[in-house]
Amino acid sequence: MPERRAGAGRYAPSPSGDLHLGNLRTALLAWLFARTTGRDFLMRIEDLDRARDAGSAEHQLTDLTRLGIDWDGPVILQSDCAAAHEAAIAQLAAADLVYECTCTRKDILAAPSAPHAPPGAYPGTCRNRTAAERAAARLAIAPRLPALRLRAPAAVNTGGFTDLVLGETRGDIDDFVLRRGDGTIAYNLAVVVDDAEMGIDQVVRGDDLASSTPRQILLQRLLGLPTPPTVQYAHVPLVLGPTGARLAKRDGAVTLSDLAAGGMDTAAVRALLAQSLGLAAPGEAVTLQQLMARFDPAHLPREPWTWQAS
């Protein structure tokens, strides 16, 4: 076993239904990254949108346990971290880094973009409004409330970091949302605050989130939280469905329950996931201890894995 060290990795599913093969594969990788580097492995349920839960969080934890994945300490609920989220916004606001935004998605897409800005980047419509203009804008959208956006420093428009899987990675940074108009804390802020509160220094997740990581690193710096290289990021390839799109439940038998109903038990699913990562031969039964002994991030596949239901 690797020597225990400070810090931790984590898995943080949203409770929007049973985990599918793509979710389970990422969870397995996050566990392997943490355990093979001597880190604790923590579990956080990202339940800020409580309407999506319907009890699925418990199903998700049960499926992870069935797969053999364990974690240290209690499961953290993101919804219990509201005070820390609001404190972070207050800290940014005190530095004049927060402003109200009344734009809809349609408004943003219709607005002229700044030169060289990527499609969908926020054009700064509400950035420099006067107090009177802000009051008029709030009145115009009532009873809807304004969102809160980060006033990104003028010198920042792109950011880069070194990813353990992708290597040098960059992403654009605009004035992104910190809190939605319905009061829900935005993902980029919540994940930064929660990871810091939990002592997470290794983040493993799907590579579809890699482009948002520079925004999160900027927030870490503005809030005085640990940043790379103290915090490591590993964005792993996704699982695709038969059409080439990201795997979804509409692609058929993709959850442990669905696969079990078709005759594939949990051990067979674990073997399938290991095979997809180059950690097992076709049909080879494997334990998590065996996978730990074989795991080497340098040899992970860099391309997505396509699931074809039999």
Q: Where are the alpha helices (DSSP H) in 116-255?
A: 131-141, 187-198, 213-223
Q: Is 129 annotated as contributing to ligand binding?
A: no
Q: How far apart are the first and last CA of the chain?
A: 37
| Angle in degrees, CA 196, 156, 213, rounded to 5 | 40
Q: Is 81 annotated as contributing to ligand binding?
A: no
Q: Is 13 annotated as contributing to ligand binding?
A: yes
Q: Is 11 annotated as contributing to ligand binding?
A: yes
**Closest CA relative to residue 92, chosen from 215, 214, 10:** 215
β-pairing verdict for 158-163 and 167-172:
antiparallel
Read off the DSSP letter of residue 208: G
Q: Is 101 annotated as contributing to ligand binding?
A: yes
Dihedrals phi, psi of 172, to nearest 5 degrees: -80, 150
| 82 C-beta neighbours (distance < 10 Å), count | 13
Omega before residue 229 within 30° of 0, cis = yes
Q: Is 187 annotated as contributing to ligand binding?
A: yes
Q: Is 126 annotated as contributing to ligand binding?
A: yes
Q: Is 119 annotated as contributing to ligand binding?
A: no
Q: Is 233 annotated as contributing to ligand binding?
A: no
Q: Is 99 annotated as contributing to ligand binding?
A: no
- Per DSSP (E only), the strands in 46-141 are 76-77, 98-101
Residue type, 10: R
| 283 C-beta neighbours (distance < 10 Å), count | 9
Q: Indicate the annotated binding residues for Zn(2+).
A: 101, 103, 122, 126
Q: Indicate the annotated binding residues for L-glutamate.
A: 10-14, 46, 187, 205
Q: Indicate the annotated binding residues.
A: 10-14, 46, 101, 103, 122, 126, 187, 205, 249
Q: Indicate the annotated binding residues for ATP.
A: 249
